[in-house]
Each structure stands twice: as structure tokens, then as C-alpha cells.
Amino acid sequence: MTQKPYRLYGSEVSLFTGKVRAYLRWKNIPFAEHLSDAQTYKEIIVPRVGFPVIPVMVGPDDETLQDSTDIIDELERRHGEPSIYPSSPRQRLAALLLEVFGDEWLVIPAMHYRWHYNRDWVIREFGRMNMPDARPEEQLEAGEKRAGPFANAALLLGGTPDMHRAIETAYEGFLDELDAHLAVHPYLFGTRPSIGDFGLIGPLYAHQYRDPWTGDHMRKRAPRVAQWVERMQQPPQPLDGEFLPHDEIPETLLPILQRMMREQLPVLADSARQLSAWLAEHPGERVPRAIGMHDFTLEGQTGQRIIRPYSLWMLQRVRDYYRTLEGAEREAVNALLQQVGGEGFQQFEDPPHLLRDGLSVKANGAD
């Protein structure tokens, strides 16, 4: 009996749908994608998940999966080799770090460019996807209604006017670094995409490639990144390729890892301190999606953004793996971390162990 395909509820404009879709295509897993219009949210997503969110995956046995990282990890468990997780310690740690960088940091330029360069276009897209059968003027009205929270999120994530130039300079620096790497390797760690590639593809496809102004910008400034996006979205050879031998970390990846340690890690370290304090002060309370505001710095410019506990759950995946390493493997990884300015990762003060709780977290053991 032929197994039913998975059902993916999402949208082309959705960052995390782009991540899951690319994975499904490379893994050659049969799936049917369904547009998350207003009716789908009302009749399928909210009843199954409890809140409006995409992507949502429904499996062959009608089970529901939510959260792009959890979806991918469950499908890796079910569908086996070839894995998108390198087995060697330096590559695996670096791939996990770059997933966090893509998911939780590149969202800043993704949201900034979308709402400050592509706003009119994306409002029409939101309306078209929310009400695909409506008249254009009705779609525009629906898009305007949906746009407000997302446009505000761009500001909450750090995209305030005083930070625009710094965000753009940092993003263009990252584009240049990734473009230089892709001149040598088709993916981050060789000829097979890793979980790090899938972390990067979400913002780099759904926002930065597909949105018109930023897509044109990418193709002109970093054409090899645009070609990588196309490979990731339409893999020429699913299930093919290898990671580099001997646990090699390409020299061309070091500037990107250095960027993460310089830009994102201090924010994560402060988030951990703030969350630990919040949990001590609010015993038994559910952790909200944001627990205040704090500073972040890009290109010498300091702004403010929300403190997102969920980002620490993502980093915890990397920290948990790091703690399993011993002996020569730990030494090899520590040497890499020293090379990229990752002393703060080695000395990171973890909050209590976390479980994902919807779009936020809860301390392991909390009700």
C-alpha cells in the first residue's frame, strides 16, 4: 500500500516554511503543500496546534508536527540516511551554530528589508495568500490588516531607523562572505547540504531572494548566493553528495562563524542571564515570547531589540552536543572555537534546561 504523502501547510512568504520545504525536496520525501489561507488557519492549523503558526506538517497517520527544527528532526529520525547532520564533531558543531545564526539572527535583516524596502509588494502577497479567491481590492485590504503585526516585529527585532545602516552593512558583509565560500564549495560543508544550510535558507529564500528589491540586490551583489538558494529550493540531485573528509572546516566559513560570535553570541549570553533571572522572579508562570528589551550591536552601532527565550532553546541544541564531546573531539572543537572568537561559547552560562513550549520555552520539569 502506498503511503500517503505528508501535508505541509505554509506559504511562499514564510521564512520557516522555506526551510522545511527545501529539506523535504532534498530528502525526496513525498509531500503536498497547502496554502495557509484564512480558512486553513481556522479549520486546520488552530484546531491542531492551538495557535496560528506556520509551517505545520500533518503526517501519513494524521499526526501533527510544528516548528521547523522539530519537523526536520522527526523526519530525520523516520527517514534515515543520508543525514543532514555531519557525524564528525567540528562540522556538526559548526552546522548547528549556523542553523542558529540563520534561524535566529538573519531574521533581523530579513524583516528589515521586507518591511522597509518591499512593504507594498508583501502587503499584496499577504492579501493574495490570505484570500486567494477575493478581488484585488479585497486582497489589498486583507493584506493591510495582516501587515501590522509583522511590520511591528521588524522594529521589535531591532530594525529601528537608527539601526538601518548597520543592519544593511552587516548583511552585505555576510553576503560577501557566503558568496566567497560558495565560489569554492556548493554547500557549507561540501557537496551535501547540512542543517546549517537549511538554517540559512529560510531567510535567504523567503525574504531576501523572493522579495523583489532584495532578490535583485542578492543577484547583483552575491550571484553565487542566489544560485545556492536555487539549488536549495530545487535540488539537482536529491539525497546526493558528501560532507568534506577529515572533519574539515573550510577556511572560507571562518569569517561567517566569526561574525556569529561577534554579533549574535553576546545577545544570546545576555538573553540567558535575563531568562534565568526572569524564571527566578516568576516561579510557575508561563514564559512569554519576549521578556523585555536589551541592547545589541552591529558594525559599532548599538540598538535595542526584544529578548527572545526561544533563541536559547535553539542554542541549547548546540550546547547539549558540545557537552557530549570528550578527549580529542573536545580539543578539536575547542581549537575551532578559539579560531573564530568563540571563547564566549565555551564559557557560556546556560539557563535552566529548556523545553520548547509553542513559540516560547519552559524550564525542564515545569508544569
What does each of the 367 residues of the chain score in pLDDT, given as a tens digit? 457 899 999 999 999 999 999 999 999 999 999 999 989 999 999 999 999 999 999 999 999 999 999 999 999 999 989 999 999 999 999 999 999 999 999 999 999 999 999 999 999 988 888 888 889 888 888 888 888 888 899 999 999 999 999 999 999 999 999 999 999 999 999 999 999 999 999 999 999 999 999 999 999 999 999 999 999 999 999 999 999 999 999 999 999 999 999 999 999 999 999 999 999 999 999 999 999 999 999 999 999 999 999 999 999 999 999 999 999 999 999 999 999 999 999 999 999 999 999 999 999 876 6
CA distance 46 to 42: 6
Helix and strand counts by DSSP (H, E) for the chain: 17, 8
Nearest to 318 by CA among 282, 265, 366: 265
Q: Tell me, what's the pLDDT at 1?
A: 41
Q: Which amino acid is at 97?
A: L
* Contact between 312 and 361 (Cβ < 8 Å): yes
- CA torsion angle 144 148 151 154 (round to 10): -160
Instruction: Specify the domain boundaries for CATH 3.40.30.10 within the chain.
Output: 6-79
Residue with the three cell numbers 531567510 = 203
What are residue 361's DSSP bridge partners?
356
* Contact between 318 and 97 (Cβ < 8 Å): yes
* Contact between 287 and 274 (Cβ < 8 Å): no
CA distance 303 to 293: 10
Q: Tell me, what's the pLDDT at 364?
A: 81
CATH superfamily of 6-79: Glutaredoxin (3.40.30.10)
Residue with the three cell numbers 544550510 = 197
Instruction: Specify the domain boundaries for CATH 1.20.1050 within the chain.
Output: 99-240
127 burial (CB, 10 Å; 0-12 / 13-18 / 19+) is: buried
CA distance 21 to 11: 10
Class of domain 99-240: mainly alpha
Q: Tell me, what's the pLDDT at 367?
A: 60
Number of C-alpha atoms within 13 angstroms, CB side, residue 210? 18
280 burial (CB, 10 Å; 0-12 / 13-18 / 19+) is: exposed
* Contact between 150 and 193 (Cβ < 8 Å): no
Cis peptide before 55 (omega within 30 of 0): yes
C-alpha cell at 51: 495557535
262 burial (CB, 10 Å; 0-12 / 13-18 / 19+) is: middle
What are residue 31's DSSP bridge partners?
6
Dihedral sign, CA of 333, 338, 339, 344? positive
Q: Tell me, what's the pLDDT at 132?
A: 86
CA distance 48 to 65: 9
* Contact between 248 and 242 (Cβ < 8 Å): no
Q: Tell me, what's the pLDDT at 138?
A: 87
Strands 301-306 and 31-35: unpaired
CA distance 98 to 108: 15
